[in-house]
Chain A
Amino acid sequence: MPEKPKIAFYWCASCGGCEESAVDLAEGILGLLDAVEFVLWPVAMDFKKKDVESLADGSITATFLNGAIRTSEHEEMARLLRRKSRILIAYGSCAHQGGIPGLANQFSREEILRGVYDDSPSTNNAEGVRPRSDHREGGFRVTLPDLHNVVRSLDQLVPVDYSLPGCPPTPKLLGEAVRALLAGTLPPRGSVLAPDVALCESCPRKDSKPTDLSYQEFRRPHRVALDPATCFLAQGIVCMGPATRGGCEAPCIGGNMPCTGCFGPTSRARDQGAKALSAIASSVEPTDDAAIDRVLDGIPDPIGTFYRYGLARSILRRKAGLPVDPREAR
């Protein structure tokens, strides 16, 4: 019997939703388990790093890596899995675009540590304990990974062969990717394994999208009753659909919430936020500075709105002027 293709599934800075999406293959996962051999899947199986290290370079057929890269451990595992794998797939928004963790690129490492270990309302840390990468006590040495200054998408660290977008990717796209992988029918390297058209094209509310939009105000989804059948943009709700790749089957729209952009840009755009800003801001109705600004005030957090999943991999990447902490001495 020929050897089964070896597959690894790994997580870096992620929430677990991507793992959940694999489980969402439901009974389909049984066929997958028959067809492949898992060599690493921390959330489901007991393999260790040394098991991966003991494999020959390039012997893993494909690694699905989810989560952003933001610690020295993520970095080390991503480099290891890149070396061991013939195909590396950035799985989910965080590996693909930096994802929600990428929003941390608006803050310095120190601001983040202070927020988490000192200032958050539920923190009780009178001794001012902070994580340290190297600690000695009573003759013992304890180490922890370093927190990077900058959050990165996977392809900002190592070459990536394919990206499977989404927060999380859909079981349909994962199933298609696995079938293509096993059949040897994957598209050219570098492809994003989802349709290359904007979500609006497949939106169930497409017919109600006006040709010309004109905003006198932006309304926020938690403050208004949303019409369940009309284009969100026509309702004055910011929807990332025009600047976001489709293929998600529009579950948010189906749940009467606007698109927040988790599938990233199409291949024609490099900066999803810039394209969304361009489409939405240009359709504001007023023509003078003050009145335009009043309308734009309806988008109080432009970074969190336009770059919710894409800040780390955007053109500007990180807030300029933030300090860079040196690596802790080891």
Chain B
Amino acid sequence: MPEPWEPRIVAFFCNWCTYTAADLAGVSRMKYAPNTRVVRVMCSGRMDPQFVYDAFARGADGVLIGGCHPGDCHYIEGNYKALRRFRMIRRVLREMGIEEARCRLEWISAAEGEKVRRVVNEMVEEVRRLGPLDLPGRAAEWDEEVSAHA
């Protein structure tokens, strides 16, 4: 029997705040959903929209971006750049049939281990409600019309 589906969420956390907060959640032994794969980036401003699209195209059901609170960016304004890109990325995702709730941006400071726990749990439940996105499976289905004749 195949294993039941579990949401897969790729999380991009900034080195200075959110990743440190996730560390804090860990050393504080907080329990939260094990559905995220965390990738550390130096700044939420490093988030290339290609990372988001790639995560979805390779099978993520959700993408979570975590950065420092406004005004607190280690690089002064990287998080504002992340926010502006995120607002546009969500428009693109909507146009491409990917529900907005599958992509989320949160400001989580190094002291907010508890917020990591809450945000991850919330997002896992939201994505669970939406169900699998499965872009790789969909792409394979799209390509049956040509692979049959290769």
Using CB atoms and an 8 Å cutoff, list the residues of chain A in contact with chain B: 69, 72, 75-76, 79, 106, 148-150, 152, 157, 269-271, 273-275, 277-278, 281-284, 287, 289, 292-293, 296, 299, 302-303, 306, 314-322, 324, 327
Query: Is B3 close to A, CB under 8 A?
Result: no
Question: Given the complex of chains A and B, what is the CA–CA distance between A330 and B56 in angstroms?
Answer: 36
Check if A287 sits within 8 Å of B145, measured CB to CB. Answer: no
**In angstroms, how far is the closest chain A Cβ from the Cβ of B97?**
4
Known: A75-B146, A79-B149. A289 touches B83 (CB 8 A): yes
B45 to chain A, nearest CB (A): 8
If the complex has contacts A292-B83, A316-B135, A320-B133, are A274 and B49 also in contact, measured as CB distance less than 8 A? yes
Which of these, B85, B95, B145, contacts A148 with CB under 8 Å? B145
Is the CB–CB distance between B70 and A281 below 8 Å?
Answer: no
Contact A274 B50 (CB under 8 A): yes
* 14 A-B contacts (beta carbon < 8 Å): A69-B146, A150-B145, A152-B146, A157-B146, A274-B49, A281-B89, A282-B45, A296-B87, A302-B91, A302-B95, A318-B96, A322-B97, A324-B141, A324-B142
For window 104-150 of chain B, which residues contact chain A by CB distance below 8 Å?
133, 135, 138-139, 141-146, 148-150
- Which B residues contact A (CB, under 8 angstroms)? 45, 48-50, 53-54, 56-57, 70, 80-81, 83-85, 87-89, 91-92, 95-98, 133, 135, 138-139, 141-146, 148-150
CB pair A292–B53 under 8 Å, yes or no, is no
- Asked if A306 meets B92 with Cβ closer than 8 Å, knowing A284-B84, A320-B133, the reply is yes
Find out whether the CB atom of B146 lies under 8 angstroms from the CB atom of A321.
Answer: no
CA distance in complex: A289, B91 (Å)? 13
Which residues from A are CB-within-8-Å of B83?
Answer: 287, 289, 292
Given A150-B142, A317-B139: A271 touches B98 (CB 8 Å cut-off): no
Q: Please tell me which one of the listed residues B57, B70, B87, B143 contacts residue A316 in the complex, with CB atoms under 8 A apart.
A: B57
Q: Given contact pairs A296-B88, A302-B88, enumerate 10 new A-B contacts (beta carbons under 8 Å).
A: A79-B150, A157-B146, A275-B50, A278-B48, A282-B81, A287-B70, A306-B92, A320-B138, A321-B97, A324-B145
Closest 5 CB pairs of A and B: A274-B49, A320-B97, A315-B53, A281-B88, A282-B81
Question: Quick one: given A282-B85, A289-B83, A296-B91, are A270 and B50 in contact (CB under 8 Å)?
Answer: yes
Q: Is the CB of A282 within 8 A of B92?
A: no
Instruction: Note all chain A residues with C-beta closer than 8 A to B56.
Output: 316
Are B48 and A293 in contact, with the CB atoms below 8 A? no
User: Are B92 and A149 in touch, CB under 8 angstroms?
Assistant: no
**A320-B146 CB under 8 A given contacts A289-B87, A296-B91:** no
Measured in the bound complex, the distance between the Cα atoms of B89 and A127 in whole Å is 43
**What residues on A are CB-neighbors of B92 within 8 Å?**
273, 277, 302-303, 306
The chain A residue with its CB closest to the CB of B57 is A315
CA of A293 to CA of B88 in the docked complex: distance in angstroms?
Answer: 8
Query: Is A149 within 8 A of B84, CB to CB?
Result: no
Given contacts A148-B146, A281-B84, contact A271 B96 (CB under 8 A): no
